[in-house]
Amino acid sequence: MVEQIDKTGLVADLIRGRRSKRKFLDRPVSPTMVRQILSVAKHAPSSSNTQPWRCYVLTGQAREKVTTAAVEAYRSGQDALAPQYPFFPKELPMPFSSRFNTFRGMLGDAQGVHRSDLAGRRRDVEHQFRFFGAPVGLIFTMDRRLEWASFICYGCFLQNIMLAACAQGLDTCPQQIWSLQSAVLRDALGIPDGEMVVAGMSLGYADNSVPENNMNLDKLELQEFVSFVDI
């Protein structure tokens, strides 16, 4: 019983302690650690064991090539960048829009970038396309022939990566925004047209000296999203 309690506490601490980090230290991550993280994450559940994920690990010169090309593409024609799937509806309804705006305001305040500061916001986007300075960038794709339900499986896989990274003392930031850069990624990584760019992820050691890496986000209480039936 004691062993089970210890395991429960460890898992709970990993889940509660995980945070999306937006600035990383210039500290290398060994390929062995990346392999260990992905070797654990691959045990995520998927519908009928279809395992819809494919991952590209970018380090060194490959990472620099991709980030440089992504920033150039953004600077030269950001309006031409389109995601592989919709992130949000055209009009985000309540209460989701309220949560979205609250978070964006908190992040902007932490970064010292007001929502009206267009130049600052562009710099923030470019920072995202540099994997926030993390030494490892991950790009995730999925076969286009699959249906939307496979995104549920993919979410489990991404969460496994983030928790396995936490267990190794590493930090992450999942990034849907990389779906905007499918043209750059296909050219640089040889991603076939039949693969949809789902997301990216920054992986490394967080620089926790910056305010944006120390935000405390409000989470809903159980009574706000749970209905207990016949209990």
Q: What pLDDT, in 10s, does the model give residues 152-172? A: 999 999 999 999 999 999 999
* Cα–Cα distance for residue pair 156/40, rounded to 1 Å: 12
Q: Does residue 5 surpass a pLDDT of 70?
A: no
Pairing of strands 195-204, 54-58: unpaired
Q: What would the mean pLDDT of 116-126 be, rounded to a whole number?
A: 87
Peptide bond preceding 95: is omega within 30 degrees of 0, i.e. cis? Answer: yes
Regarding pTM above 0.85, the answer is: yes
* Cα–Cα distance for residue pair 57/160, rounded to 1 Å: 16
Number of Cβ atoms within 10 Å of the Cβ of 129: 25
Number of Cβ atoms within 10 Å of the Cβ of 40: 16
**Six-digit token pair at 191?**
């991603």
Residue 16: its pLDDT value, please?
94
What does the chain come to in residues? Answer: 231
Q: φ and ψ at 7, to 5 degrees?
A: -65, -40
Q: How many helices (H) and strands (E) does the chain have?
A: 8, 4
**Six-digit token pair at 93?**
């309804």
Q: Does residue 142 surpass a pLDDT of 90?
A: yes
Residue 1: its pLDDT value, please?
46
DSSP designation for 143: E
* Cα–Cα distance for residue pair 156/34, rounded to 1 Å: 18
| Nearest CA among 114, 97, 96 for reference residue 105 | 114
Q: What would the mean pLDDT of 135-140 be, rounded to a whole number?
A: 98
| Nearest CA among 181, 202, 40 for reference residue 136 | 202
Q: What pLDDT, in 10s, does the model give residues 79-103? A: 889 999 999 999 999 999 999 999 9
Q: Which amino acid would we find at residue 130?
A: R
Q: What pLDDT, in 10s, does the model give residues 20-71? A: 999 999 999 999 999 999 999 999 999 999 999 999 999 999 999 999 999 9
* Cα–Cα distance for residue pair 231/172, rounded to 1 Å: 38
Separation of first and last alpha carbons in the chain: 25
Q: What would the mean pLDDT of 8-24 be, rounded to a whole number?
A: 93
Number of Cβ atoms within 10 Å of the Cβ of 229: 4
Q: Does residue 178 surpass a pLDDT of 80?
A: yes
The strand pairing partners of 89, in sequence order, are none
Q: Does residue 113 surpass a pLDDT of 90?
A: no
Residue 80: its pLDDT value, please?
85
Residue 115: its pLDDT value, please?
77
Q: Please list, in sequence order, all residues whose beta carbon lies within 8 angstroms of the beta carbon of residue 115, skipping any fewer than 6 positions away.
A: 104, 105, 108, 121
113 to each of 56, 66, 118, how far by Cα in Å? 32, 26, 9
Greater pLDDT, 113 or 211: 211
